Amino acid sequence: MIELKSAGEIAAMREAGKVVAAVHAAVRERAGIGVTLKQLDEVARTVIEEARAGASFLGYHPSFGAMPYPGVICTSVNGVMLHGLPTPYRLRDGDLISIDCGAYVDGWHADGTVSFTVGHPRDEDLKLIKVAEKTLAAGIEAALPGGRMGDIGHAMSAVGRGAGYGMQNDFGGHGIGRAMHESPFVPNEARGGRGLRLRTGLVIAIEPSLMAGGGDAYYMADDGWSVCSGDDSRSVHVEHTVAITDDGPVVLTVP
Ligand code: MF3
Ligand code: CO
Domain count, the chain: 1
Going by CA atoms, what residue is nearest to atom 6 of ligand 1? 83
Q: Looking at residue 246, what is its pLDDT?
A: 98
* Closest atom, ligand 1, to C-alpha of 180: 4
Q: Which ligand lies nearest to the CA atom of residue 205 in the structure?
A: 2
CATH code assigned at 38: 3.90.230.10
Q: Which of 58, 57, 56, 98 is nearest to 77 (CA)?
A: 98
Determine the 3-state secondary structure of 130 from DSSP.
helix
- Residue 57 falls within a domain, yes or no? yes
Tens of pLDDT, residues 147-197: 999 999 999 999 999 999 999 999 999 999 999 999 999 999 999 999 999
- 163 found inside a domain: yes
What is the per-residue pLDDT for 60? 98
In a structure prediction context, what are the per-residue pLDDT tens digits for the chain, which is 255 residues long?
999 999 999 999 999 999 999 999 999 999 999 999 999 999 999 999 999 999 999 999 999 999 999 999 999 999 999 999 999 999 999 999 999 999 999 999 999 999 999 999 999 999 999 999 999 999 999 999 999 999 999 999 999 999 999 999 999 999 999 999 999 999 999 999 999 999 999 999 999 999 999 999 999 999 999 999 999 999 999 999 999 999 999 999 999
Give ion ligand 2 contacts, CB < 5 A.
Answer: 111, 205, 207
Asked, for residue 114, whether it belongs to a domain, the answer is: yes
d(CA 251, CA 245): 11
Question: Closest Cα partner for 166 from 210, 227, 229?
Answer: 210
What is the residue with the minimal CA distance to atom 8 of ligand 1? Answer: 57
Q: Which of 74, 169, 218 to mutate to test the pocket of ligand 1 (most atoms within 8 A of CB)?
A: 74
255: number of Cβ within 10 Å: 9
Q: 142 to each of 150, 156, 209, 250, how far by Cα in Å?
A: 9, 9, 17, 12
Full domain range(s) for residue 182: 7-251
Q: What is the pLDDT of residue 204?
A: 99
Q: Is residue 157 in a domain? A: yes
Distance between CA atoms of 126 and 96, rounded to whole angstroms? 9
Whether residue 16 is contained in a domain is answered as: yes
Report the separation in Å between the CA atom of 207 and the middle of ligand 2, taken as the mean of its atom positions.
6
Contacts of 101 (CB under 8 A, 6+ apart): 20, 23, 24, 27, 44, 57, 72, 73, 74, 111, 112, 113
Answer yes or no: is 164 within a domain. yes
Measuring from atom 2 of ligand 1, which residue has the nearest CA?
100
CA atoms within 13 A on the CB side of 214: 3
CA–CA gap between residue 161 and residue 168 (Å, rounded): 11
Mutation test residue for ligand 1: of 41, 169, 180, the one with most atoms within 8 Å of CB = 180
CA separation (Å) from 220 to 25, 127, 175, 207?
28, 25, 24, 18
* Position 145 in a domain: yes
Spatial distance between the Cα atoms of 105 and 17, rounded to a whole number of angstroms: 9
Q: Are 240 and 140 spatial neighbours (Cβ–Cβ below 8 Å)?
A: yes
pLDDT for res 119: 98
Give the Å distance between the CA of 225 and the centre of ligand 1: 10
Give domain status of residue 2, yes or no: no
Q: For position 133, what pLDDT does the model report?
A: 99
